[in-house]
Amino acid sequence: MDNKDQIGSGISPGISVGHYRIIREIGSGGMGEVFLAEDTELGREVALKFLRSDICRDEACRVRFKREAQTAAKLSHPNIVTIYEVSEYRERPFLVMEHVEGRSCQELIKRDDMDIEKIIDFTRQISEGLQEAHDNGIIHRDIKPSNIVIDSRGRCRLLDFGLAAVQGTEKITRSGYAIGTAGYMSPEQVNGEEADQRSDIFSLGVVLYEMITGRQPFIKDAGAATLHAIVSEQPE
């Protein structure tokens, strides 16, 4: 067993987290780690997303995480990944989600595997998922290619509704995280103002720009410069 299998404060293949048996890690990022698991009660594969312990250090943060997850779990739409449950393991909050076999939009952009038909179709599907969320008063707050998964049939799914709110302003100031997501933030988010539906639409526009050109419209060498460009410059 290598080190990668053991990350996540004791989470490793073969252990049980409640009635979920961990199979393997399938991803990691700024928010935490994602594991493929078997739901031993229902006999299906699911994805367990554990938040990093330093993100939710206190009870107030964990309560906020649970509230956001419960709100997002009410969404039922073919272009939104379904949330089944929210819980904790060794004081680490985690989500139990639908497991989608596929590639992220980020992967497809990097592989230059985009044509105009795909771009139009993907944008339409993402827009429909967002419309469903907005109609229910839910704002995503972190639309970006890595939060969009496309399955083998070409169906897009949006991930991580509301999770950006759990981090609050840390997403701007945390070293190593701001650079990775700052390029997709709306001007009001950069200015510390409340995000609304228009913020998600702005971020979707950035994703559309990147699908077409292969690059972000405002990205700079440093996160702070990117944030400044979003509020003061035209797209490149």
- Average pLDDT estimate for 177-198: 79
Average pLDDT over residues 98-107: 94
Q: Does domain 3-98 have CATH number 3.30.200.20?
A: yes
The predicted structure's pLDDT at residue 160: 85
Q: Please tell me the distance from the alpha carbon of residue 1 to that of residue 208, in angstroms, as a whole number.
A: 40
Closest CA to 32 of 46, 62, 52, 17: 52
Mean pLDDT value of segment 203-222? 94
- The yes-or-no answer on residue 142 being catalytic is yes
> What mean pLDDT do residues 61-79 have?
85
Outline which parts of the chain fall under CATH 1.10.510.10. Answer: 102-232
Q: For residue range 127-158, what is the model confidence (pLDDT) as tens digits?
A: 999 999 999 988 898 899 999 999 999 999 99
For the chain, the C-alpha Rg in angstroms (whole number) is: 18
- Kindly report, as residue ranges, where domains of CATH 3.30.200.20 are found in the chain: 3-98
Please identify which of the residues 142, 151, 196, 221 carries the catalytic annotation: 142
Task: Kindly list the distances between the CA atom of residue 211 and the CA atoms of 11, 145, 161, in Å, as whole numbers in the listed order.
Answer: 35, 9, 21
Q: How far apart are CA 181 and CA 179, in angstroms?
A: 6
Integer Cα distance of 203 and 211 in angstroms: 12
Residue partners of 98: CB distance under 8 A and separation at least 6: 46, 47, 81, 82, 83, 84, 157
> Cα separation of 158 and 143, whole Å?
8
Fold adopted by 102-232? Transferase(Phosphotransferase); domain 1 (1.10.510)
